Amino acid sequence: MRADLALWAKRLESGKSAERQMVTATLKHWQEEADLSGLRVAADVARLPADEQEACEKLWADVRALLDKMDAKK
């Protein structure tokens, strides 16, 4: 997911509206996708080893930051 997030962030650099919409839709989907809840829901993440917990928290913080960045450009 980290590599995918980097690719989505790179797509934003195109500045095209359609690209921004696709990135927004994808990242919001990640935030709601049930299959990803084990990496997102605090109770599930707490069951992971400490280094994996930290990686999950960083990933979702970066997802939120990218979405916030896109919102700021509107």
Give residue 73's pLDDT: 74
Amino acid at 63: V
Q: How far is CA 38 from CA 35, 42, 43, in A?
A: 7, 8, 8
Q: Where are the domains of the chain?
A: 2-73
4-59 per-position pLDDT tens digit: 999 999 988 877 888 889 999 999 999 999 999 999 999 999 999 999 999 999 99
| pTM of the predicted model as reported, rounded to 2 decimal places | 0.89
Give residue 5's pLDDT: 96
d(CA 61, CA 55) in angstroms, rounded, equals: 10
Dihedrals phi, psi of 11, to nearest 5 degrees = -65, -30
DSSP code for 34: G
Q: How far is CA 40 from CA 8, 23, 56, in A?
A: 19, 19, 7
